[in-house]
Amino acid sequence: MKITVFGIGYVGLVQAAVLAEVGHDVMCIDVDESKVSNLKSGIIPIYEPGLTPLVQQNYASGRLQFTTDAKAGVEHGELLFIAVGTPPDEDGSADLKYVLAVAETVATHMQSHKIVINKSTVPVGTADKVKAKLSATLTQLGKTDTFDVVSNPEFLKEGAAVNDCMRPDRIILGTDNPKAESKLRELYAPFNRNHDKVIAMDIRSAELTKYAANCMLATKISFMNEIANLAELFGADVENVRRGIGSDPRIGYQFIYPGCGYGGSCFPKDVQALIRSADGVGYAARVLEAVEAVNYAQKEKLFEYIMRHFDGDIRGKTVALWGLSFKPNTDDMREAPSRVLLEKLWVAGVTVQAYDPEAMEETQRIYGSRDDLKLMGTKESALAGADFLVICTEWQAFRAPDFELIKQSLSEPVVFDGRNLYEPQRMLEYGLHYYAIGRGLSV
């Protein structure tokens, strides 16, 4: 099938590459000329395991094309995906200007029936706005072409995006036209390996499904972080509690890992956007407001432990910081808990020696050169000459470090762990003070 994807961001690029891989003929459109020319030369704008060869091979085979030519894109695809960004505007609502701009472009150039598919995470009611934009533009231009609008939200996780897209748990299709639904079923047929993954429904339910999924996951995390905070105060160990409750299949083990808060481009933005949308229909989303508030406070947790340990006297110290990305296997720093910590440490007069396996360049891009930030080439060199160690991201490479080296390198034998990577008893044996989330303040 002939597909066009508008927006070569995370979702657009991965989706396009995966659709090309199963044999569809995919054209990607973006306004960013340098991104397009980089992709043509095999340079992928994001770090995502497995994505580079997938893009390069499919580009070489001609099944995946990149261009800035929107007119060519509209002509090419029978199915047109909108996968542009929906950044939060000032009050946290999703900003639809890029989505609606694509709708206008489509209406301007279309010469035949098109199925317009919303992949971007968009508030409930957006499909209606896209339809209205398409209709208004067509009328303005005196055109009589017809179209369908479908909601088909994406559920991929950064760091596992290719696999999530290749082997989706579910494919949500929100349509009001059986013909469009049948086209989309045909498009996704290669992904129904073991059973039919398609769950078809009305458009508004599909739009809400996306927000409900992310908000549910964010709720699990904030809930668990609250239990971790209580465990600390009660003298319990949240890791035992986690194992204890996860064993109930109604609760499950996933997304109940306590930590220094959730980050990324999705949970913070989507929780906020649903709160704003709820507000717009006169409903106070109290659970979601609490989820957000708990997460905000949780991102300050490591700094609080540090201040408590050093009695507020940290000016002039040097910290080794392991992990900058918002989670492992990505270089993405958007809303990363490390950023809240970095910025608080700098205000307090601390120099940071940071190491991350992938996010060093991104850190440099965000913060530029500054005397109180040293980007180190290895986790070991980050320790050299540091006073204490903080961990913000659970990269595999941090799971079994040389504890002797940690102890010898630090002037104070203390580790603040925002991801609960180590056993407190083991740390005690190594002679290291250890602060973890919800496991007792220090052992």
Q: Which of 217, 382, 389, 432 binds ligand UGA (CB under 6 A)?
A: 217
Q: Is 121 annotated as a binding residue?
A: yes
Which position has the token pair 């397009």? 36
257 is in an annotated binding site: yes
Q: State the Cα–Cα distance between residues 426 and 431, nearest whole angstrom.
A: 9
* Using rule CB under 6 A, residue 118 touches ligand UGA: no
Q: Is residue 266 among the annotated active site residues?
A: yes
Cβ nearer to ligand UGA, comparing 77 with 268: 268
Those residues whose C-beta lies under 8 Å from the C-beta of residue 142, and which sit 6 or more positions away, are: none
Closest to ligand UGA by CB, 75 or 95: 95
Closest approach of ligand UGA to the CB of residue 132, in Å: 25
Catalytic, out of 165, 215, 260, 266: 266
Q: Token pair of 42, please?
A: 């095999």
Using rule CB under 6 A, residue 242 touches ligand UGA: no
Could you say whether residue 398 binds ligand UGA (CB under 6 A)?
no
Closest contact distance (angstroms) between CB of 46 and ligand UGA is 12
φ/ψ of 236, rounded to 5, equals -100, 175
H or E stretch at 233: helix 203-234
CA atoms within 13 A on the CB side of 130: 31
209 is in an annotated binding site: no
For ligand UGA, the binding residue among 70, 203, 221, 294 (CB under 6 A) is 221
Exposure string for 55-76, b = 16+ CB within 10 A, e = fewer:
bbebbeeebbbbbeebeebbeb
Binding region for ligand UGA (CB under 6 A) out of 72-80, 229-237, 262-270, 395-403: 262-270
Identify whether the C-beta of residue 337 lies closer than 8 Å to the C-beta of residue 392: yes
CA–CA dist 35, 151 (Å, integer): 26
CB contact set of 364 (below 8 Å; sequence gap of 6+): 375
84 vs 217 by CB, closer to ligand UGA = 217
Nearby residues of 245 by Cβ (< 8 Å), 6 or more positions away? 251, 256
269 is in an annotated binding site: yes
Give min distance, CB of 298 to ligand UGA, in A. 8
Closest approach of Cβ 310 to ligand UGA, in Å?
A: 26
Give the range of 170-178, 264-272, 280-288, 406-414 binding ligand UGA by CB under 6 A. Answer: 264-272
**Candidates 131-139, 257-265, 276-284, 429-437; binding stretch for ligand UGA (CB under 6 A):** 257-265
Q: Spell out where 104-240 has E strands.
A: 114-118, 147-151, 171-174, 198-201
Given a contact cutoff of 8 angstroms between Cβ atoms, the answer to whether 49 and 9 are in contact is no
Least distance between ligand UGA and beta carbon 120 (Å): 10
- Over the window 156 to 175, marking each residue x when it contacts ligand UGA by CB under 6 A and - when it does not, the resulting string is xxx-----------------
- 218-to-118, 123, 209, 215, 366 alpha-carbon distances in Å: 23, 17, 14, 5, 25
Residue 355 is assigned to a ligand binding site: no
Contact 109, 75 (CB under 8 A): yes
Q: DSSP secondary structure string, 348-390?
A: TT-EEEEE-SS-HHHHHHHH-S-TTEEE-SSHHHHHTT-SEEE
> Among the candidate windows 83-91, 151-159, 338-346, 366-374, which touches ligand UGA by CB under 6 A?
151-159
- Span of 27-35, 127-135, 263-271, 428-436 interacting with ligand UGA by CB under 6 A: 263-271
In the complex with ligand UGA, the residue whose CB is nearer, 166 or 256, is 256
**Rule CB under 6 A: is residue 256 a binding residue for ligand UGA?**
yes
Nearest C-alpha neighbor of 199 from the set 176, 174, 178, 180: 174
Residues 319-358 that bind ligand UGA (CB under 6 A): 326-327
Candidates 6, 59, 81, 267: give the one binding ligand UGA (CB under 6 A).
267
- Known binding-site residues equal 30, 35, 86, 121, 155-158, 210, 255-259, 263, 269, 327, 334
- Known binding-site residues for NAD(+) equal 30, 35, 86, 121, 158, 269, 334
Interface contacts to ligand UGA, rule CB under 6 A: 121, 154-158, 214, 217, 221, 255-257, 259, 262-264, 266-267, 326-327
- Known binding-site residues for substrate equal 155-158, 210, 255-259, 263, 327
Q: Which residues form the catalytic set? A: 266
